Structure 1
Amino acid sequence: MHTEQTTNPPDTSAAPRNRLEALTGLRFYAAFGVILFHLSIFDFFALDGPAVRLGQTAFLNAGWLGVSFFFVLSGFVLTWSARPRDKAGRFFARRLAKIYPNHLFMFITVALISGGLGQTPLWQGFANLFLLQSWIPQNTAFFGVNGPSWSISAELFFYAMFPLLYLVIKRLRDRTVLTLFGVLVVLAAMLPFVSSSLPVGTRFDPEFTEPPLGGGESELQVWSIYIFPVTRLVEFTVGMLTAIIVKKQLFPRVPATLAFVLAGVVYAASLWAPLLWQLGAQFVLPNAVLIAAVARSTRQPRFLTGKLAVHLGELSFALYLVHYFILELLSNAHESLGWPAWAMSALFLVLSLAAARLLWQFVEVPANRFLRKRIDRRPANPADREVATSSARANTCHAS
C-alpha cells in the first residue's frame, strides 16, 4: 500500500504525538462506558432498589456509544497515521499482530476456566478462534466464548478493506470528501429501517427486545445493524473521511467542549429511541465531531493527555477483552457472596484493571513487539518510525 506522508496536520502547531495521546486518553473513557453498560445489564443490582435501577438505565446505551466511537476512531487513526510506501500485506500483518495475541490468550483462558465453549457449537468456536464470528447471524456465534471479541472480528474486515478505501479516499476532491461524509452519516441513520424490515425469527434477548426497550427485534435484525462487518464499515469509513477533513481543514473548528455536549445530548436522546436506532446509528456524527474536535484542539485537557489517562488508554484494548469474562465470574458468585452492589462493582473494576494491566504487559506488548520485528524486517526510515510510534500509541480496540 503506497500512501502519502500524513504525519503533520496543517491546521495547528501542536505535535501529532500529543494529538494522538489525547485520542488515546479518550479511548479509556469509551472503554469505561462499555464496562458500565455491561455492568448495568447483569444482575448485580437486583436487590438494591430503584435508585440503582436508575443508574442501570442511565448506562443502558453506553456500550452502543462506545463501540461506535471505537469504529470511527479506528478509521480516523489509521488514516491519520498512514505510513508512506507501505504495502497492504504488511499493513494487515501489523494490525493482526496487534489484536490477535490478546484474542488468542482470552479465547484459551475462557475455554479452559469455563470448561469448554459453553453454548457455542464447535464449528462456531473455530470461527471465533479465527475472528470470523461476526459474519455468522447467530447469538451463540458472534457473542460466543469471549463476547466482546466480535468487534475485533469486524475490525479485521476493516483492516482488510483499508488499503483499497484509502487508495480511493486520498484521491477525492475536497468537496467530494465532504459530500461522501454527509452521505455516509445519513446512510448510517437509515440502516435501522432496512434492519427492521428483515424477518422476525429468533428473539435476540428478551431483556432488550421486550417493551419499553424494544419491539420484539430478532437475532437477525440486531446482527444486521450491530454486528455485521459490512454495516459497521460505514462508521470506519466516516472515521477515515474525518481524518482527511481535519488534515485539510475542510470544516470549521468545533470546540471540544461543544463536541462533548453534543455527544451527551445525543446519548440522552438515544435512551428513548427504538432499539435498532440505539445500536450505533445515532452516534456516528457526534463521535466523528468529537474525535475531530479533540484532534484539532490546541489546548489538550489533562484528563486526556495526563500520564495516567494515556496509560489507561493504552490498556483499553486489553481491558475491553478481559472485563466481560471477569464480570461473568463475579456475577456467578454474587449470590453466594451477598455483597451490596457498590462493593461488587468496585471489586469488578479493580480486578478488571489489574487483569488488563497484566494482559497488556505480559501478552499484548511482548507479542506485538516480537511479531512486528518479523514483519518489519527492513530498517524503517525516520518518517516511518515517527508514524509507527504515533500509530502504536493510538491503536483502537474495539473496540471496540
Structure 2
Amino acid sequence: MIPLVNTVAGFAGGEAGGRGVRLDSLTSLRFFAAAAVALMHASGLYDVPILNLGFIGVSFFFVLSGFVLTWAGAADDGPGTFLRNRIAKLFPLSAATLAVAALIPVARNSSGASFLHSLLLLQAWWPSSAPSFNPVAWSLSAEAFFYLLLPPLLARMRRFNSRELLGTIVFLSLLQPAVGTAFQFILGTEINAWAAQFFTYNFPPYRLPEFVIGVALALLLKSGYVPAHRIQLLVAGLATAGLMLTVLAANVYVGLWWVCQSLMLPAIVALIWSAARRELSGTSRLLTSPPLVRLGELSFAFYMVHYLVLGTVGLLVGRGAQGLPWPLALPALICAAGIAWLAHRYIEEPCERALRDNPPRLAEPTAEPQRNGRAAARRRTRS
C-alpha cells in the first residue's frame, strides 16, 4: 500500500480530533451494501447462494457509520448539535415509511406498541417490534443507540494511541462472535430460537462492536497510521479466509448469520480502509465516479423503501415480500429505485435541511464564495 502519513495528516488536520474531507468512495460503497440487502429480500423465495448473504450489508453499514461520523468530525460541535443533526437525517424517512407501512401491512407483529417503538426508533430493543411495520428500519434503532454513545466514546478513544486502537479492533472482532456463541448456546433451542436470533442480530448492544470498530478505524487513519507489511498481509489473509468460510457456512446452513457477520468483519475493515486510503492518495477512480456517488447518496432512501415495495407487490399477488418470483421481484426493485429517488429529493433532503442545526451566517460578498462555502459545509457534515 502507498504510504499516506503526510497525505492523511493534511486532510484530517494531523490529529485524531480534526475534521476530514468527505470520502466519495465510501458513499459509493453504501449503494452496494443497500443493493445486497435488497437482493437478499427479493431472492428470499429461492435462497440463492451469495445473494442470501445480503444481511452482511447491515454489518457494513454499522462499521461504515462509525468510520464516517468519526472521520467527518460530526460530533465535534457538541452532543446536542450532533444528535439533532443525526435525527434530522434518520427521522423523516423513518416516519414516512412507518406511515406507509401502517397503511399497507407488509409485516407481522405490527401492533400499536410496535408502532410507538418504531416511531421513537426503539423497535430493536423488543423482539416483537424489531420485524414489525417496515422490518429493515430496526437498524435505525440500533444507529440511534450508537449516536447516543458516540460523543463520550470519542472523548475516551481520542486518547488512545495506535496500538490501543488496533487492540480495540482486534478485541471487538473477537468479542462479538464470543457473545454470539454464548447466546446461541444458552438460547439456541427450538423453543428459544427466536430469542437467539433477536439477541445475535437485532439487539443494539450486540451490534455495537461493529460501530466502535469503525470509530477506531477512522481514528487510526486520521492519526496517519500506516500498517506494517506483515499486518497488511495478516488482514488480507483473514479477510480472504473469512470470505471463503462465510460462503461455505451460508451454503451449509444460512441460519449461521451470527457466524457469517463475524467472519466478514476483517473483509469489511479491509474494504473501508483500502477505499479511504486509495481516495486520499488520488488513486481511486471507479468508486469516486459521479454516477456511483449519486447512487450512494440515494442508498438510504432505497434501503428504507425497497421492502415496502416488495411487500406491496406481494400483497397484490398473494405472496410475501420475500416470496416474489423473479419476473416480479426485479421490476419491483426497479420501481423501488424510482420511489427512492422521489423520497430522497422530496422528503429526505428538504426535511434534513429544515431540521439540521444550521445557524444563520453573514452574507457573503459574492455568489461564488457563497456556493463554495455551502459546498464545503456539505462535504464536512454529510455522511
Gaps of 5+ in 1: 44-52, 204-216, 396-400
Q: 1:347 to 1:244 in 2, by over 3 A?
A: same
Q: Per-residue deviation at 1:197?
A: 2.5
Structure 2 partner of 1:106: 97
Structure 1: how far apart are the matches of 2:195 and 2:380? 35
The superposition leaves residues 277-333 of structure 1 with CA deviations (integer Å, 9 ceiling, x where unpaired) of 345222222111110011011355443111110011000000000000111112233
Output the CA distance in 2 between the equivalents of 1:376 and 1:88.
15
Q: CA distance change for structure 1 residues 268 and 300 in 2, over 3 Å: closer, same or farther?
A: farther
Matched, 1:81 2:81: no
Q: Bigger CA drift: 340-349 or 283-292?
A: 340-349
Q: 1:366 aligns with which of 320, 345, 350?
A: 350
Report if the CA contact (8 A) 1:61-1:278 is conserved. no
Aligned to 1:238: 213
Task: Check the 8 A contact 2:66/2:214 in 1, yes or no.
Answer: yes
Paired residues, number: 350
Query: Separation in 1 of the partners of 2:219 and 2:375?
Result: 19
Q: Please name the residue that 1:27 is paired with.
A: 30
Where 1:171 maps in the other structure, the secondary structure is: coil
- Do residues 281 (structure 1) and 262 (structure 2) align? yes
Cα distance, 1:295–1:252 mapped onto 2, change above 3 Å: farther
- The answer (yes or no) to whether the contact 2:124–2:142 under 8 Å persists in 1 is yes
Distance 1:112 1:162, change over 3 A: same
Matched, 1:147 2:135: yes
CA contact (8 A) 2:67 2:218 kept: yes
Contact 2:240/2:267 (<8 A) preserved: no
In structure 2, relative to structure 1, the CA distance for the partners of 1:7 and 1:136 (3 Å cut) is farther
Taking the aligned partners of 2:75 and 2:83, their CA distance within structure 1 comes to 15
Aligned to 1:247: 222
- 1:118 deviation in Å? 5.3
TM-score if structure 1 supplies the norm length? 0.78
Of 64, 80, 91 in structure 1, the residue corresponding to residue 82 of structure 2 is 91
Question: 1:223-263: per-residue Cα shift (whole Å, max 9, x none)?
Answer: 111111111110000000111222231524859xx698677
Match for residue 357 of structure 1?
Answer: 341
Residues 85 and 165 of structure 1, relative CA distance in 2, 3 Å threshold: closer
Deviation at residue 121 of structure 1 after TM alignment: 2.1
1:8 is matched with: 12
Q: Does 1:131 align with 2:121?
A: yes
CA RMSD in angstroms comes to 3.2
SS in 2 for 1:280: helix
The structural deviation recorded for 1:202 is 7.0
List gaps (5 residues or longer) in structure 2.
1-8, 363-369
TM-aligned CA deviation for residue 377 of structure 1? 1.9
Alignment of 1:348 onto 2:323: no
Deviation at residue 113 of structure 1 after TM alignment: 3.1
Whole-angstrom distance in 1 between the partners of 2:379 and 2:241? 28
Deviation track 1:112-154 (CA, whole Å, cap 9, x = no partner) reads 2339x8532211211111110101123xx10101101000000
Q: Render the CA deviation track for 1:328-381: whole Å, top value 9, x for unaligned.
A: 112233469xxx944313311210100100000000000001111xx232549x
SS in 2 for 1:92: helix
Using the alignment, how far apart are the partners of 2:284 and 2:326 within structure 1? 29
Alignment partner for residue 223 of structure 1, among 189, 198, 220? 198
Which SS does the other structure have where 2:43 is aligned?
helix
Q: Tell me, yes or no, if the aligned pair for 2:243 and 2:263 is still in contact at 8 Å.
A: no
Tell me: CA distance 1:119–1:225, structure 2 relative to 1, closer, same or farther (3 Å). closer
1:386 and 1:262 map into 2 onto residues whose CA distance is: 41
Q: Confirm or deny: 8 A CA contact 1:134 1:150 kept in the other structure.
A: yes
Contact 1:74 1:239 in 2 (8 A): yes
Report how far residue 270 of structure 1 moved.
3.9
